[in-house]
Chains A and B, each alone.
Chain A
């Protein structure tokens, strides 16, 4: 093809005086699947949104050519004709991309009536066929559903149907699968490829082009024909997917590709003492009954049914499952943050249920936790030394202020932060640094068991790797045991000796990580492994 459908020529984008995208050149040909890859803050989303000038605060210089016309110079009215009709967008979080007050049918029909001038009845027929094409079951019924009545995957399909409504020539998908579960992700990606390859969205005989914005290299590899890598607003490398993955040129690309974590574990002797054990652990939540029945009590929702896990000294067990599978419930039950309905938790051989409150409080120093969200897990009004020192003051009251300071300083060094961080507040740190602080807060108490609740899923890939390395190092140095809760099989693969797979509150399969990954027996595990390859 001679002329690209969409071309960015020397595009720079400024927020105020800050240049977030710097002289970017990008071409998207008709019918092509191009992936724009970068870490958070690299300017990839800003680029995508700026193509349709959706960020009014920005200043765009350079030219954005769509079909030979410069979008930057177009009037707002003329640009509205392009938005939705010629270039459509799919956003990351389907729940917030749809208006909760309207049915999904009404929202899809709206753009049909606006851009194609259809009547309400015609638009409805088209909407139903669109929903059917995007793989929503029972489209006649679902067309009248409100967003909250659909699951995340179905919602994303509805959003895609909305984007496809006017047969766009370019589809910009901004992290379309990040908010979804792993198995759902795979299906959405397949849907996008199918829609394009089956030529269902042909526009004047040419297939639709897709620009995918993502940080997920697995997704890129499976989806894109061409890749453009962006770092700090600059395009560092682009090329055919296969060639780029086989022989990356730019150091940043190499770093990104190598950031898929590698397994480097020490074996645990089978004689290592058993530290933590749950037997037939069951957790229930009250569930509201409908209507008048709610007056006479509530039903029970079983979040976790009969979970048996074992953890030995120096070992890491992975708890894997999708959202709602009960894996976070399991971690909170072990931490005694929620009450279990039945079953036993034994820590260092003593059943927790038999211990007094004050004994459990003492035990907490040996059973610590690191949470997923590095922005929510640190109190914004405490300095780092206060955050780390709080547990020390509680569990080691015999330490003098000087000794406590020594311990804090030492652990800070251990997690790779400078001493100047001591008096800083959490808002001054990046996500990866915050996660290090959270790890320091847990490790300073010299715990035996550390529960890692999605420790890396909010972090960029290269940072994720650093945090995993830090965790591995700490484990080898202090013989820590980890309970690793995650949905990301690559993390489990790198860190865990054994894996438990949770589905709907039940452990469906468990075993040695490598063996289980190589030949999963349960169909659900197979789907998980399949989806994350």
Chain B
């Protein structure tokens, strides 16, 4: 909502400065969003007098004018206007001025060889009217002594843009804002006086407000004015509209706009001669076509509210008028409509047809249903004053009687909600200034809510009124209480937090990417999950929710590779989606690494990142979380986007109940499809929601501390075993041989090739043996040695290498 202080003063008696006004507006909840100081621009436009005109030496239609711009300065201006003549008072714009209509900045320029220092302006160029015929002619009497002075009055030049919250339709008119300010002690609200109308005319247009079900026009008021002459609005009205950035059009249109911005009363004016056989306000029928003032044709559904005649729809109630009955310059008879349309239906209709209008914006928020008559009186008077004509009696039809809202208000509530007290007298003063009618009771106030406040229906609404008017700075600051009902984080949240930082310590940079993604990428990682489309995506690319943490991450890995960053590790922790219902999501960590380890190192050999790098990252992370290495179980069944031979799946037990992660090389086909210029791309995923609770909390684990001081022995073995036999299983078999004394099994060599049969591999391992109960002698060691070999050979078919 745009206002000027000048306009506000039409309704408000006040002597405060504009700076104070801006602070006050914000303090009572009418936030000042912007101030456009157009004065600096418009102050450049000066009243000037043409001293002498001469024909341009090289152009028949141009004149070279000597212009008196005040302070005894004469400027040469080239002008093409026919009416430019000696002695004319007009408006001069110097170089540097911005022409309001075109937005162009003037510069000194040679026009056909003659330098023009600025420009003489037409009304159209200053947005004062559509008149572009010639330059402005100012009356001698009025402007004789004002040569060199500002053409625009500077007092009304600050345009104050307020952000009016959707609950405050009453402040979509200047008067409503003035009322709030008055209640907040910023002046006195001027009484609104209505001029009595002399009804002269007995002509009538038949009006029918259909009392059908779902009729959303609850009141329809109208007034016929005959024999008007539409014309340009008078100066005061034009200036008023221009001051808030509106363009004057014609008196009839300008008057309705003025009423809307001044008292928040949207009106519509029909050319009465174009109404065929009277008006019916009714629900639309599906398929009806309506050509609106925006030159678009709309196909209507059932139950939209329309103002119609026997030929069809004339206007969409509360939203937009139609072309067929619009007023023109030659319009003679007009019908003014002043009505109340239901907010919800107005909004639904406008949404469906995708129409925005000032009227719709107001009706969907709720217009004062009691302002219908005032709207008719004021507009009829203004029309008569400017355009002449005779006014007929008003006709106001109602679908039903509107009830005024009453609230039983407990005075103690204010203190309970706000934590501060307010005196009775202050309460009465504020509420009555805002327009409430008050009946006092001992404990309660019986309040009648003003008709222009559809947002107020219960006591808490009244609290807000009182609070914002006395000012939120009055609220006392109470120190926070520290009592706690629950731990800050639950176990899953702690896990999230721990994992996030655990993964980062492995050298990964944390990325945060959209939860939605490009289906082109998503499909590569979607597997058999359902695609979840967004109906109204931000772009056609980002139109599905991500089914995998890799969909976006791989895109950004690629982007960074294209920035010539060769070695990078990115991870993201966040949701992936399994379906379109709330809760159908899980929390996942995804990490991707690309490039080399130890690139350009003088001391270490560089190598490409590989599956065992990411395996280390994921396993170490799990161990840091608190799982034992012996609990971690791995097999090779992985989704299709991993390299089938170089990827693994992780469980937290041998029963393989829930997958907690994958790791491995990204499938070469995917790298090819996305066209990533990577030397090597490996990744892992961790599914946090699949973690089982630790058997023992770390706290409990700490409480048992057991070490053995008996001598530790080590034995090396080498087995020749089937090439496809899982080393994990071999280690398991050895460890299980005697859990009491076998402490550790370490693989120190894996060999295939010469001396080893084709389908076999040789695995060399070191076993540490130590008892907690006794020192082991040579016999004991020999026994366990033999047991290990027997066990492995029997269970795996391997042979010990001698």
Partners in one complex: no
